[in-house]
Amino acid sequence: MAVAGDRIVASGPAVSGTARRQLDYDDGILLPGLVDFHAHPGRGGSRYGTDPDLYFLPRGVTTCLSQGDAGADNWDDYLRELIDASRTRVRLALNLSRHGESHPTRNIPTLDAADVNACIRTIEEGGDLIWGIAFNAAAVTIGDIDPRVIMERGLAVAEATDRPILYGSRKNSDWPLAEQLALLRPGDAMTYLYNREEDGLMSDGRVEDAVLEARDRGVLFDLGHGMASFSFPRAEEAIAQGFFPDTVSTDRYIRHVEEDPSHDMPRVMSKLIAIGMPEIDVFTRATAAPARHLGLAGEVGTLEPGACADITVLKWNHLAEPLTDCHGEQRSGPCLEPLLTVRGGHPVE
C-alpha cells in the first residue's frame, strides 16, 4: 500500500517504487482502520466516556460511533472537547435524554428528560456529526417510565430529522421483543445482539421469526459486547444458523480501562472467529459495513485508492490470554492484537 498525505494512492500486490518511509510487517494482517459502531468516547460529561485517542486509536480503531454520551444539554461541550479535539474520527448517536450520559443515576431519570424538541434542534445544529438518535428501553436506564413512550419519543425525533436509531431493547417480559422490533425501521440498529436474556434473539435454540423478519426489512443488528451483553453459547447458536452481526462493536467504556487483557475491537473480533464466524465476514463487519452505515463509505473502511489513509495492521497472538465472554465462559483460539494504526496517513505512536 502506498500513502501520500492523508490519502491512499495505490494498493495491491503491484505497488512498487520508493518512499520517504517504509513500514514492513511480514506477519501482519493489513486492514482498513477499524470502525467501532457502538462505543463510549468521551472526556468528561459522560459517566461512561473514555478518551478515544488513548484507548481506541492505539488499539486499531480510527472511527467510532458514540452511543449517546452527549445529549441536547451537553452537545456543544462534546463537540468542542471530544469531536473537534480528537485524532480519532467520532460520530455521535445523540442521546434521547437531554442529559446524555451525565446523570448520576440513570439515563432518563424523568420523562421530561426525553425532550423531543431539544433533540430535534440539536441534530439540526450538529449536521453530519450527529449520525442519529440513541436510547435504551431497559429498566436500568429508564426506571418506571413506560418503555413504549420512550420508543414513541425516539421515533418522533428520528422521523423529524430523517436519522436512524441505535436502540437498546427492553429485555423484559413486560414488552416482547417482537413488538419492539416491529416499530424499528430500515437502517435502525438494535444493539446488544448476543446477550443471554430469555426474551431476546433466540427461542428454543433458533433465531426468533420476529428477528429474521426485522432483518429482512432492513433493521440492523449490532454486537455491542460491553460488560454484560456477550454470551458465547448465545453467539454460537446464532452463528451456527448463519445469523451474524451486521456490525461488530465493543461498547467499550470507562470500566474497561483497567482490564487486562484489554477489551478492544481486535479481541472482540477474535471471539467471533473462535466460534466459527469466517474471518472475512468479521473483518468486513468491523470496517466496510459500519463505515457504510455511518455514511462514510469510500472515505473509511476501505483500502481503495482515494480513501482516507486510515489503516490497521493486526497480528495473531497464539499465546494470548483466553477469550472470555461477559459471564466467565472461555473459548480457545489465538487473539488478534494491534501492531500498527495509521490515522489520516500518520502512524499512531
Residue 8: the pLDDT is 98
CB atoms within 10 A of CB 207: 16
Between CA 207 and CA 300, with CA 93 as vertex, the angle to 5 degrees is: 85
- Grid coordinates representing 323 are 477469550
The DSSP H or E segment spanning 190 is strand 189-190
Spacing of C-alpha 96 from chain mean position: 18
- Grid coordinates representing 76 are 456543544
Spacing of C-alpha 149 from chain mean position: 25
- Grid coordinates representing 177 are 421483543
Please report the domains of the chain, with CATH numbers, ordered by start residue: 33-303+322-336 (3.20.20.140)
The tens place of each residue's pLDDT in the chain, 349 residues long, gives: 999 999 999 999 889 889 999 999 999 999 999 999 999 999 989 999 999 999 999 999 999 999 999 999 999 999 999 999 999 999 999 999 999 999 888 889 999 999 999 999 999 999 999 999 999 999 889 999 999 999 999 999 999 999 999 999 988 888 999 999 999 999 999 999 999 986 678 888 899 999 999 999 999 999 999 999 999 999 999 999 999 999 999 999 998 998 889 999 999 999 999 999 999 999 999 999 999 999 999 999 999 999 999 999 999 999 999 999 999 999 998 999 999 999 999 999 8
Instruction: Give the three-class secondary structure for 309.
Output: coil
Closest CA to 222 of 261, 167, 175: 167
Residue 204: the pLDDT is 84
> Residue 317: beta bridge partners?
335
**Maximum Cα–Cα distance for the chain, whole Å?**
65
Q: Which 8-state DSSP code applies to residue 321?
A: P
Amino acid (one-letter) located at 199: D
- How many DSSP H helices and E strands does the chain contain? 11, 17
Spacing of C-alpha 128 from chain mean position: 17
* Distance between CA atoms of residues 36 and 191, nearest Å: 12
* Distance between CA atoms of residues 207 and 263, nearest Å: 27
Closest CA to 207 of 186, 234, 170, 172: 234
Residue 172: the pLDDT is 82
Whether residue 48 contacts residue 254, with contact meaning beta carbons closer than 8 Å, is answered with yes
Residue 200: the pLDDT is 75
